[in-house]
Amino acid sequence: MGTEIESVLTAKDRKKFINFPHDLYASDPNYVPELYLVVKDILDPKKNPFFEHSEVALFLAYQDQKVVGRIAAIRNNNYNQYHQSNVGFFGFFDVIEDYQVAEALLSKATDWCKSQGFEQILGPANFTTNDTAGLLVEGYDSPPVVEMTYNKPYYLDFITRFGFQKEIDLFATLFDERINYERPLQIASLLKERLQTQGFIFRTIRMKEINQEVDKIIALYNSAWESNWGFVPPTPKETRHLAKNLLQICDPQYAYIVEKDGNMVGFALGLPNINETLIKIKRGKLFPFGIFRLLRGFKKAKIVRIILLGVVKEQRKKGIESVLYANFIRDGFKNKLKAVEASWVLENNVQMNSALDKIGGLRYKTYRIFSMPIGK
């Protein structure tokens, strides 16, 4: 059976591109359908500010006129400028369990990146590391939390067989209500008291001053992440776009701020796991009844994901990270959460991983970014 790869050029094609995973994972109990309108906006050059500086090519794989796979090839100009690199990316990779189809899709993305003059291809990323990124390689036995990826186990074999090698791993760490964290929480509490005597202030975000708070968080985020693998400072429009999306589902009681001498020196943001609701919304369609499920789900989430945590370089190695993680565990379980997930953390981020280990976190999922040289 022959495989044909076609470019996504029309609104009809784009709809097929968005909907394909719903059919692929129809029998998978851990699959969480992304909201159709959200993915539609991500792919829309008129709504996603990523397209103001970069370019994407979308492709669908067909067999007998039936969609059997999809992939995106990505030119991220800001990434290459910031890292002084010459690489392309692939993302939105989904495929039936047929290596020949996977090979055809990966070849198409690779050829597109070659045509752009790139020397290497990285992925998966949808479209950047500020979006969903990484291939799940360990931890297939539970659904992903909000804004984390999920894929079939055979993807790992297909990608490595094609020639990709590991670039870096991203860890997800779990804190479970069934585990006793009394001792590490006591240590974190003593550490917090000591930091407070040194002038550090720990508080939650002030929603009445949200615009000023967000501006400070963005500045701290760019400073704290500047040397992390894959980081690219978002443009002002991307920042506003990202902040708007996060604030829509942010729970202020899980947005922690650390100050010293009137300056914000650390912050952590947790998101209610709306995937607990999305998993029940068929094919990611909100209408006619999905919107009501989603609204109810905001308040009923039993898991919170720590999506962002950062401390300015000058204040690291003082235990602030451990105190912030402890806040989530203490407050979360007090509020009847079943679990807290910290994700993702780069495998080479020794300080963050050490803080998670000291609090008693369980590393339970691993995501991977791959790379492959492609020449000019």
What is the structure's pLDDT at 191? 96
* Domain match, 343 and 282 both: yes
179 part of a folded domain? yes
44 part of a folded domain? yes
Given pLDDT bands bounded at 50, 70 and 90, which one contains residue 306? Answer: very high
Q: What is the mean pLDDT of the chain?
A: 93
* Domain match, 180 and 326 both: yes
Cα separation, 272 vs 252, in Å, equals: 10
370 part of a folded domain? no
Return the percentage of the chain with pLDDT > 70, whole number.
96
Summarised one tens digit per residue, pLDDT across range 240-267 is 888 877 777 888 999 999 999 999 999 9
Poorest-confidence range of 24-28, 67-71, 92-96, 291-295? 291-295
* b/e sequence 87-107, b meaning 16+ C-beta within 10 Å: bbbbbbbbbbebeebbbbbbe
Q: Is the pLDDT of residue 108 over 90?
A: yes
* Domain match, 129 and 249 both: no
Say what the pTM is.
0.94
- Domain termination residue (choose one: 135, 150, 171): 171
221 part of a folded domain? yes
* Domain match, 162 and 179 both: no
What is the structure's pLDDT at 66? 97
21 part of a folded domain? yes
Q: What's the number of CA atoms in the CB half-sphere (13 Å) around residue 86?
A: 10
Which residue type sits at 342? A
255 part of a folded domain? yes
Q: How many domains does one find in the chain?
A: 2
* Domain match, 131 and 201 both: no
Poorest-confidence range of 36-40, 47-51, 286-290, 326-330? 286-290
375 part of a folded domain? no
What is the structure's pLDDT at 285? 79
What is the mean pLDDT of the segment spanning 292-320? 85
* Domain match, 150 and 195 both: no
Q: Is the pLDDT of residue 89 over 70?
A: yes
What is the structure's pLDDT at 298? 63
Q: Is the pLDDT of residue 221 over 80?
A: yes
Cα separation, 238 vs 293, in Å, equals: 29
Domain that holds residue 312: 175-365
What is the mean pLDDT of the segment spanning 44-48? 95
* Domain match, 161 and 208 both: no
376 part of a folded domain? no
* Domain match, 166 and 289 both: no
Pairing of the two strands 120-123 and 4-7: unpaired
Cα separation, 72 vs 358, in Å, equals: 39
Output the domain CATH number for residue 68.
3.40.630.30
- 234 three-state secondary structure: coil
What is the structure's pLDDT at 210? 87
What is the mean pLDDT of the segment spanning 271-299? 75
* Domain match, 188 and 152 both: no
Cis bond leading into 288, ω under 30°?
A: yes
Q: Is the pLDDT of residue 161 over 80?
A: yes
Given pLDDT bands bounded at 50, 70 and 90, which one contains residue 289? Answer: low
